[in-house]
Amino acid sequence: MSKSNCRQIGYAYSQEYIKLADLLPSNVGRASLVDDLIRSHGLLALCDDIISPSFASKDQLTAYHDSKFISYVLKGEDTVFSDSDESDRGSRGSAHSTLSNKDAEERLRERFGLEFDCPEFEGLDKYVQAISGATIACARYLTAQKVNSDKQRVAINWLGGRHHAAKDKCSGFCYVNDIVLGILELRKTFEKVMYIDLDLHHGDGVETAFAYSNKVLNLSVHRYDKGFFPGSGNSKFCGKGRGQNYTINLGLKAGLCDTSLQRILRDVIRPAYERYQPDAVVLQCGADGLARDPLKEWNLSIRGLGSVILDIIDFGKPTLVLGGGGYNHADTARLCCLVLGDLGIEMHR
C-alpha cells in the first residue's frame, strides 16, 4: 500500500481564516500568498479533509494563558484586576479617559508585551481566536484517529506555530501560543507528545510551558548566539523536575545547510523519537532558516528543509504540522506547497 493510501490529510482552511491571518504585522499578506500557491496547484482539493477553523473561546485560551492577559487581548471583555492591580485600572477606549488612565493603558500594554515587535492592530482579538481555534481543531482531528486508526492522520495549519508567546505576554511576533494549546488538546487523548521545532529561533514559549513535564518531549533546533533573539535555548538546559532530560536544545551557529540538518535528523531527532516513543508528534516548520530569508542566518534550501519535514511525518504517528517564522513570503509559500504536495497525495501535473 502506498504512503498516500496510508495517510489521511486534514488541512485547516477557510477564506475568513486567511483574511485574519493576513493581518499579522510581521507577515502582512503572507497567508494569502500561501493560499494562492496551494490552490493554484490544486492541492486544496486533493486533501482528504478540510478542517474548518473556529474561534477559540476564552475558556479554551485560558487552558494555558493567563485570564487577565486574554481578557485584555480580546478587548470585548473588561479586564478584571485584583486589589493589588488597582494602579492598572483604566477605561479601555473611553472618550473621557484621563491622563492617568492613558498611563495605565500604556502600563498594561507593556505588561502584556503589546509593543515593539507585537503592536496592537485592528482585528487582533479575532486573529488570536482564529489562530488558536484552528490549531485546536487540528489537534481534535488527530485525536479522532483513536476511532479509525488504520491510517496515519496528519493535520496541517500553516498559519499557526506561534512558539514565542508566554503564558501572560506576547513576544516575537507571537500574540498567543497556539502550539501549547494544541499540545494540551492532544494530551487529553495521547499519553506522550513529541514537539519538534525547526524554526530559526528557539521555541522558548513552548519550552517554558512544558519544562517540568515528562509527557512532552521538547526538541528545538535553532540559531543560538549572544544577542540573538530570544536569547534562550542553550544546549545545557534539558528541563526541570520531572521534566529533566525531556528538553533537547540544539543551539547552532550561522550557516546551517541541508546536509547538516539531515545529519541532525539522523543523529538526534530520530534517536530521540525512538527512545521516547511518543503517541503523537507536533512539528513547527518555521521557514526563516531558508537561504533567501531576509534574516540570512542559515543556508537551507526549500527542498532540504521540506525533505526533513516529510521524513519526520514519515515516522508514522498522528502529526500536527504548523507554520512559524518566514519573512521571504514567496519562499515560505513554496515550502508549504512542496510539503503538502509531497505528502503522498496524488497531484495533477
- Strands of the 216-223 sheet, one edge to the other: 49-51, 7-12, 152-157, 319-322, 280-284, 193-197, 216-223, 247-252
Determine whether 164 is an active site residue.
yes
Q: In whole angstroms, what is the distance from residue 212 CA to residue 280 CA? A: 19
Neighbour tally for 30: CB within 10 Å:
24
Q: In whole angstroms, what is the distance from residue 150 CA to residue 256 CA? A: 37
The answer to whether residues 162 and 177 touch, using CB atoms and an 8 Å cutoff, is: yes
* Cα dihedral sign, 60-63-67-73: negative
Q: In whole angstroms, what is the distance from residue 125 CA to residue 167 CA? A: 16
Q: In angstroms, how far is CA 150 from the centroid of its own chain? A: 27
Q: In whole angstroms, what is the distance from residue 233 CA to residue 115 CA? A: 23
CA max distance for the chain: 69
Exactly one of 65, 96, 163, 164 is catalytic; name it: 164
Q: In whole angstroms, what is the distance from residue 299 CA to residue 15 CA? A: 33
Cell of 299: 543556508
CB-neighbour burial class of residue 201 (10 A; exposed 0-12, middle 13-18, buried 19+): buried
Q: In whole angstroms, what is the distance from residue 38 CA to residue 13 CA? A: 11
Q: In whole angstroms, what is the distance from residue 49 CA to residue 261 CA? A: 31
For cell 483574511, the residue is 19
Q: In whole angstroms, what is the distance from residue 117 CA to residue 114 CA? A: 8
Q: In whole angstroms, what is the distance from residue 63 CA to residue 186 CA? A: 13
Catalytic (active-site) positions: 164
